[in-house]
Structures are given as C-alpha cells and as structure tokens.
C-alpha cells in the first residue's frame, strides 16, 4: 500500500512538475539558505562575531544564486557566482561609505538599479550579476553596516556563493539525461490522462462543451511538457538531425508521434466518440485484445467511427513506442545519445533604445525613483520595500499588461500573506523550534510555486517575513501596514511607468509574437515548396509550436477579467484557430513525402501563402473579430489518407477563419472540420 502511494505521489509530481524542475529549484534555494545560515552561525559562535548584514546578505544572495544564475554548465555558473560576489561586495562597500550622506546614497542606489537593469543585455550572466548588485545595495542600505564591519560582512556573500555552488553542482546537479527521462514519463502521464478522459466519454453520441474544454486543457498541458522534453534531446548545431538511425533522432520522432497521435485522437473524438473497448485496450497497452473487441483497422474501415478508431490505434502504438523509449532510458540512461556542446556564438549587442532590454532598464530606473520618492514620504527607514516592488514587477514581463498583472499579483500576495503570517506569528510567538521549520517550509513552497504563480510566491515570502519579525521581536501591526503600503506604492509606480514611458502595448507584444508565428509557418510551407522533407520539416513544425506558445503568453493579459479588454470569448476563439493551424502544420510535416500529385500540393501551398500574406500584416486584429455560430458538416476527417494534402487544406481553412468573409459562415472555434475536397 505504501509503495503504491509512493508511486502515486511521484506520478502526481511529474504530472504537475515535468522533469521535477520546480521541485529541484525550490530544494536548491531552501538548502542553500539553510546551509548558509548554519555555516554563518557556526562562524559567529566559534570564530568571529558577525554583523546582522552578513546574515541578511547570505540569505538574500542564496535566493538570487538559486533563481537568477541560469548559465549552462557548472563552470560557467561558478564564474557568474564569483562575479556576482565581487559586485555584491563592491556595492555594499559603497553603501557603507555613503551611510552618512543619505541623499547621495539614494541617488547612487538609482545608478546601481540602472546599471543592474541594463546589464541584462549581456544575457544570463549580466542578469544574474545585476540581481546580485541590486539586492546587495538594497541590503547594505537597509542594515547600514559601518566601514569597519565590511570584512565581517563580506563573509555572508562569500559563504552563500560557495554553498550555493556546492548545492547546485554536487547535491542537486543538473543532468539532462535524468531530466529527459522524467519529462518523457510526464508526457506518458499526460497522454494517460487524455485516455482516461476519453474512456469516460466513450460510446456516447456526442461530447459536450464542458468535456471538450477539459480535453483542450489536457491537450495544452501535453503540449507544455512535450515542448519541455524536446529541449532536453541533444540536437546538432543546425537543429536538424541527419539520419533516422541517430538514437536522438529516433527518440525525437517517437515524442513527435506521441504528441501528434494524442492531438489527433482528441480532434477526431470531438466528431465521433471512440468505442470504450478500444480506449480500454489502449490504456491497458494490450494490442492482442483489440481484435476480439472488433476494433482492428480492417474491421472499422468503412464505419462512421473509422477515423477516430484509427487515431486511437495510432495513439496506442505511439504510446507503446514511448514506453519502450522510457524503458531503454531507465536501463541505459540514454547511453547512445551524446550531449551536444554549446557552440552558439554571442550575438552583437544593441546598445540603443531600439533594444527592449534598455528601454526596460529606463522604465525600471524611473519606477524605482518614483517609488523611492513616495516611499520616503511614508517612511525614512522602510522605503526600500517600495523600490523592491517597483524593480521586481518588471522582471520577466513583455508588455504593460504583463507588468500590471504582476504588480497586482505582488500586492495581493503581500496583503494575504501578511494576514496569514500575522496569525501564525501570533500563534507560535516565543516558539522558535516551531517557527523556524514553518518558515523553512514556506520558503520551499514560495519557490516551488514561483514559475506557476507570482502571487503565491509573494504570499509565502510575506509569511516568512512575519515569522522572522516575530522571532526578532519587532513584529507590530504598524510595521505590517507599512510594508503593505510601501509594496502598493512600488506596484503602482511600476504600473504607471509601464503605461506612460516606452509603453510596450499588450497588442504590440502580441503583434510581434504573431509575426514570428506567421514567419515560422511561411518557412514550413516554403521548405515543402523547395522539396524538403523528413526531419527538416519536423524541426520547422516544432518551431511553429514554440511560436504558438509565445502567442498564448502574449495574449494572456487580453483575456484577464480585470483588463480593459473584456472580450475573452474572441481571445479564446482566435487562439483555438491558431492551435488548429499549428496542429495541421505538424500533420503536414509528418505526412509530406514527394507525392505524385505535386502540382496540386503546390497550388494549395500557393493558396495558403496568399492567405498568410493577407492575414499577417493585420497582426492582432484577428483577436477582436466577431465570429458567427458554428455549422458542422458531420464529416469525419480522412486522417489516414493524404495527410499532406489534408494538412494544407486545413491550414488554409484555419487561416480563412481568422478573417471570415461576410457571406461565409465560419466554423466554430476549436472545431476542426474538413473542407470539401475537389479533384
């Protein structure tokens, strides 16, 4: 029973955290904080007294080391950490030297913010060093160490850097083979979820809208983990495999087939729910049971459910192939696949304001200046919280809508976190044996949910701060109200600057993402026109998939209920059209192989390119088009035949639905209906 529960828990983790990357990051941050604190405590007890700033810097840089350091390879990560440590010590020394000149110190803080933000143009290393510098000046100004204390203060950053590298390189190292195996297991798990859902719908007359929506969500979750798994498969420098005999190429094909088969099973089940016997046999992975149930490919050739059954049979075979690959990976650790060295050349850096990173740096600096000014009006000692909020709301955002959402998330997370934290701190007041483990768990949960929900991360961090204030005896209601006020000031300052200074409109970001998607589709169609096939087409279809993900991220603020744009219906409809087109692009890439009717395909390619030429310049306008109700034809897609031709036709159909003509009744969003085929 316990063994079964353990397997269930692991399956749950993999289903919600593919490759266990979130678990590993949260564990790294938590262990680095705990070990750094214990080392610093031992140094204080047995070697030399340490100022509070040493502990503060050690803990904060432990967090930055686990989150901000994103270089590939342990050697590069160590170099980045060492540079970050030097930057940390330098800015802390400046903050200490300017302690008696508070006005000048505040201005220098803005200079540090500007340089730290602009450093992002240098890539992951510049981003990490900038975060080390910003948080270190923040802590130096907050704790105000004297110049005489600097040697002891320096112990904090040094310990956090060394411990952080030890945790990441030795205790919880990166291993692409392990991550690949776990991500493949997650793919299989999400395919199983789709099969289980289809089993509950099997044999019915029609699938309802609620069930369709659930299947689409399962399809999105599958796409997410497939894209992750693809990043772990080593690829040659050009990104395209040379031969199917390559073990990495074979694995890539198995993953591609499993993804496409699962999507096809969903698409075709919308038109005709599959027989329960078949779904059950596929779940049990028992091909021998298919014939007795009367669901072989030959038996259902001419039946209405024929195409649905074929898709399920294809999914069953692809799932078995994926399971076989997982078994081989568990046995040999993908020994036949060699890691590919990073040979990418650094791109030339644009130091003009045409570079969005430099525009963002100016925004961050101005927002921090505003937050500093209004924060000082509220408190001379705690205004740093306002600057921190203004700085962080711009991290990993692409538009003013993204920034506003993040500002709101930080404010809400802070308010609710402080409310719960105050309650916990009051209940366990004077009980550090309880408070410390609770704070440790909250730190872990904060960074486990960081990639899922910024508000949740802020919620748990606010609880930790309440517990720390309680243990140090400074917890008061006025202090917590001040923190909420400063956080709101920073969030409002960040949002205001995002909307007024170099505003990156949400639709502008969406236009850019759509341009990349159309360009990727154009490359696929052009490659087919040039006679390319095989892995070259599959790689291009995967690029379309990645671009579709960017489109969904860019469109997310438009669908928010609080947004100025309150038309989520059209947003979902249009995303469904792009999803449909992306799916058929994969069908096309898999099916195309120098057909006999090449002239007909060239005509279809030319037609699709013409539709793209008309739609692409309009950008995100398609997200605000009113579309009429659906009218289905009842046809079943002949997916088993003429996949290339059908793929081209369906891509054209999807593109037409972006801007339907007034005299044409468009198809329903999310429905994939074949057009009448002539010739």
Structure tokens at 293: 């149930």
Q: In the chain, what is the greatest distance between 2 CA atoms, to the nearest angstrom?
A: 88
Quick: pLDDT tens for 278-303. 888 888 865 444 444 444 545 444 45
Cα–Cα distance measured from residue 607 to residue 602, given in angstroms and rounded to the nearest whole number: 9
To 10 degrees, what angle do helices 384-392 and 477-500 make?
40
CB 510 within 8 A of CB 619: yes
Cα–Cα distance measured from residue 459 to residue 561, given in angstroms and rounded to the nearest whole number: 21
Cα–Cα distance measured from residue 589 to residue 642, given in angstroms and rounded to the nearest whole number: 12
CA atoms within 13 A on the CB side of 495: 16
State the pLDDT at residue 564.
Answer: 38
Which residues of the chain carry a pLDDT beneath 70?
A: 1-11, 14-15, 203-205, 237-245, 285-306, 340-347, 559-569, 593-598, 627-643, 661-679
Cα–Cα distance measured from residue 58 to residue 89, given in angstroms and rounded to the nearest whole number: 12
Within 10 A of 581 (CB to CB), how many other CB atoms are there? 25
State the pLDDT at residue 665.
Answer: 36
State the pLDDT at residue 271.
Answer: 78
CA-nearest of 198, 312, 208, 228 to 265 is 312
State the pLDDT at residue 205.
Answer: 63
Long-range contacts of 35-43 (CB under 8 A, 24+ apart): 35/163, 35/166, 35/167, 36/62, 36/156, 36/159, 36/160, 36/163, 36/164, 39/159, 39/163, 40/155, 40/156, 40/159, 43/155, 43/159
CB 96 within 8 A of CB 146: yes
DSSP 3-state of 629: coil
Cα–Cα distance measured from residue 207 to residue 225, given in angstroms and rounded to the nearest whole number: 25
Cα–Cα distance measured from residue 276 to residue 284, given in angstroms and rounded to the nearest whole number: 12
State the pLDDT at residue 131.
Answer: 94
Cα–Cα distance measured from residue 513 to residue 507, given in angstroms and rounded to the nearest whole number: 10
Cα–Cα distance measured from residue 369 to residue 107, given in angstroms and rounded to the nearest whole number: 9
State the pLDDT at residue 529.
Answer: 80
Quick: pLDDT tens for 1-60. 444 455 566 667 766 787 888 999 999 999 999 999 999 999 999 999 999 999 999 999
Within 10 A of 343 (CB to CB), how many other CB atoms are there? 7
9, burial (CB in 10 Å: exposed 0-12, middle 13-18, buried 19+):
exposed
Expressed in angstroms, the distance from the first to the final Cα of the chain is 61
């Amino acid at each position: 029973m316990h063994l079964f529960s353990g397997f269930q828990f692991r399956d749950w983790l993999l289903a919600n955290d593919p490759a266990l990357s979130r678990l590993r990051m949260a564990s790294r941050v938590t262990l680095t904080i705990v070990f750094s604190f214990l080392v610093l405590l031992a140094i204080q007890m047995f070697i030399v007294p340490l100022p509070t700033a040493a502990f503060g810097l050690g803990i904060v840089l432990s967090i930055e080391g686990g989150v901000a350091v994103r270089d590939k390879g342990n050697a590069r990560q160590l170099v980045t950490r060492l540079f970050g440590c030097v930057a940390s010590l330098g800015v802390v020394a400046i903050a200490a030297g300017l302690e008696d000149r508070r006005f000048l110190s505040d201005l220098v803080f803005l200079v540090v913010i500007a340089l730290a933000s602009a450093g992002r143009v240098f890539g992951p290393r510049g981003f990490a060093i900038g975060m080390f510098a910003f948080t270190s000046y923040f802590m130096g100004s907050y704790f105000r160490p004297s110049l005489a204390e600097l040697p002891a203060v320096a112990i904090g950053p040094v310990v956090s850097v060394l411990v952080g590298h030890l945790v990441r390189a030795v205790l919880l190292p990166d291993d692409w083979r392990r991550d690949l195996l776990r991500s493949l297991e997650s793919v299989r798990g999400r395919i199983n979820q789709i099969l289980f859902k289809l089993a509950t719908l099997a044999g019915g007359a029609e699938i309802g809208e609620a069930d369709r929506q659930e299947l689409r969500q399962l399809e999105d979750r599958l796409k997410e983990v497939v894209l992750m798994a693809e990043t772990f498969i080593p690829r040659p420098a050009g990104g395209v495999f040379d031969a199917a005999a390559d073990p990495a190429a074979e694995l890539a094909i198995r993953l591609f087939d499993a993804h496409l088969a699962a999507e096809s099973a969903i698409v075709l089940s919308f038109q005709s729910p599959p027989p329960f016997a078949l779904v059950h046999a596929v779940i049990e992975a028992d091909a021998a049971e298919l014939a007795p149930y009367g669901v072989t490919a030959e038996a259902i050739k001419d039946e209405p459910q024929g195409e649905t059954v074929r898709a399920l049979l294809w999914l069953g075979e692809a799932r078995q192939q994926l399971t076989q690959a997982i078994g081989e990976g568990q046995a040999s650790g993908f020994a036949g696949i060699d890691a590919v060295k990073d040979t990418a050349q650094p791109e030339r850096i644009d130091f003009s304001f045409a570079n969005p990173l430099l525009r963002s740096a100016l925004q961050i600096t101005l927002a921090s200046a505003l937050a500093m000014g209004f924060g000082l009006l509220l408190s001379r000692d705690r205004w740093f919280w306002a600057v921190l909020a203004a700085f962080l709301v711009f991290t990993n955002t692409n538009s003013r809508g993204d920034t506003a959402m993040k500002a709101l998330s930080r404010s809400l997370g802070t308010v609710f976190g402080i409310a719960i934290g105050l309650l916990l701190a009051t209940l366990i007041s004077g009980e550090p044996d309880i408070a410390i483990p609770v704070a440790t768990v909250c730190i872990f949960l904060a960074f486990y949910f960081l990639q899922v929900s910024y508000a949740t991360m802020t919620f748990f961090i606010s609880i930790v701060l309440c517990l720390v204030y309680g243990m140090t005896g400074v917890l008061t209601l006025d202090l917590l109200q001040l923190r909420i006020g400063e956080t709101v000031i920073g969030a409002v300052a960040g949002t205001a600057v995002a909307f007024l200074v170099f505003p990156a409109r949400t639709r502008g970001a969406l236009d850019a993402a759509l341009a990349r998607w159309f360009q990727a589709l154009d490359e696929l169609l052009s490659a087919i026109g040039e006679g390319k096939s095989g892995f070259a087409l599959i790689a291009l279809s995967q690029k379309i998939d990645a671009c579709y993900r960017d489109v969904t991220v860019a469109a997310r603020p438009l669908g928010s209920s609080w947004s100025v744009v309150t038309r989520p219906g059209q947003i979902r409809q249009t995303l469904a059209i792009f999803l449909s087109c992306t799916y058929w692009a994969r069908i096309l890439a898999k099916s195309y192989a120098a057909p006999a009717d090449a002239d007909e395909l060239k005509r279809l390619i030319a037609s699709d390119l013409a539709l793209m030429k008309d739609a692409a310049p309009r950008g995100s306008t398609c997200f605000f088009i009113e579309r009429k109700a659906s009218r289905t034809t009842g046809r079943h897609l002949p997916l088993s035949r003429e996949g290339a031709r059908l793929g081209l036709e369906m891509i054209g159909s999807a593109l037409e639905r972006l801007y339907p003509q007034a005299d044409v009744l468009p198809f329903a969003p999310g429905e994939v209906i074949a057009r009448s085929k002539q010739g």
